[in-house]
Amino acid sequence: MLTFYEHPLSPYARKVKIVLYEKGVPFECRFVNPYAGPDDPNWEAFLRASPRREVPVLVDGDVRVFDSTIMADYAEERWPDPPTLPSSPAERARVRMLEELADTELEAVNWGLMEVMFFKRASGAQAEKLLGAARSQLARLFGRLERELDGREWMNGAGFGRGDAAVYPHITGSAGYGFGPSPQEFPRLCAWLARAAARPSVARESAEFARFMAEMMAEATRTGDGSPPVLQRQYRDHRLEWMMKSGGVEVVLAGLANGTIKFATGHGE
């Protein structure tokens, strides 16, 4: 059976799980807390599978696959039926470009929202500036997705597929911070969200996500004082670019100075 190392809050993990559920491929999930390090019981096996020390990671026998897009490609080639990509090269390219937009631009905005609204890395005028940048950028991205649905029921085209699995976790992530699309401004996108939420694969993954959130919040309430945890958050290129161009240079410099921001570090095989 496949082994899937994940953190349920990762939109990348959520995407791959939806794809695997669509294909009906059985797999075992193993939770990895990237902040626990060697204290995590899955840590050593995770390190052997993930040279970048990032979730998600897919292990299929002797095959180890990191990066959610590569995992989705692997699943499409390993289990071609049912397909999660359109049949024509042009439509496949369109869906892959949507996936790239979701995994970089949308993810970066949501990352910034979490940094400001949950981790409280900015306050006052600086926080308002960053949130304003996020709002305007999301309006542009939602507009792009709204146009993708002109004449299409799904991001993937005629049927639900990988394009939908890629976009859905990010849009619901934005909505979770109160920055989701409005039905007045983006009616097609909101109607698509409702259709996607009813999809069995999405409903199953969303229920798992909701259970994890409930457990995490219950634990935080039991053990904490309501303050955000002090964690060393990992910045990658698109996240760093978003913060720098959106007015958060001081946020990055302060995080580097106090050790709460890091960049990816690999390890030897």
Q: Is 78 exposed, middle or buried (0-12, 13-18, 19+ CB in 10 A)?
A: middle
- pTM for this one? 0.93
Check whether residue 103 and residue 181 sit in a common domain: yes
- Under DSSP, is residue 129 helix (H, G, I), strand (E, B) or coil? helix
Check whether residue 145 and residue 196 sit in a common domain: yes
Does residue 266 or residue 62 have the better pLDDT? 62
Identify the domain containing residue 19 by its residue range.
2-78
What is d(CA 248, CA 156) in angstroms, rounded to the nearest whole number? Answer: 35
| pLDDT above 50 for 86 | yes
Tokens of 150: 């002109």
**Which band of pLDDT confidence, cut at 50, 70 and 90, is reported for residue 226?**
low
Q: Is residue 160 part of a domain?
A: yes
Last residue of one domain, picked from the residues 78, 108, 130: 78
| pLDDT above 80 for 252 | yes
| pLDDT above 80 for 223 | no
Q: Is residue 214 part of a domain?
A: no
Q: In the 8-state DSSP scheme, what is residue 163?
A: H
Nearest Cα to 165, choosing from 137, 192, 190, 134?
192
**Which band of pLDDT confidence, cut at 50, 70 and 90, is reported for residue 33?**
confident
Phi, psi for 157 (deg, rounded to 5): 120, -125
| pLDDT above 90 for 69 | yes
Instruction: Provide the mean pLDDT of the chain.
Output: 92
47-31-221 Cα angle (round to 5): 125
| pLDDT above 90 for 29 | yes
Check whether residue 17 and residue 48 sit in a common domain: yes
What is d(CA 156, CA 202) in angstroms, rounded to the nearest whole number? Answer: 15
Strand partners, 62: none
Helix axes 11-23, 162-176, angle to 10 degrees: 140
What value does the mean pLDDT take over residues 135-140? 98
Give the pLDDT score at 213.
84
**Which band of pLDDT confidence, cut at 50, 70 and 90, is reported for residue 39?**
confident
Transcribe 220-259 into DSSP letters: HHHH--SPPP---EEE-HHHHHHHHHTT-HHHHHHHHHHT
Assign residue 10 the CATH number of its domain.
3.40.30.10
Give the pLDDT score at 113.
97
Check whether residue 143 and residue 50 sit in a common domain: no
User: What pLDDT digit, counting tens, does each position of 144-194 carry?
Assistant: 999 999 999 999 999 999 999 999 999 999 999 999 999 999 999 999 999
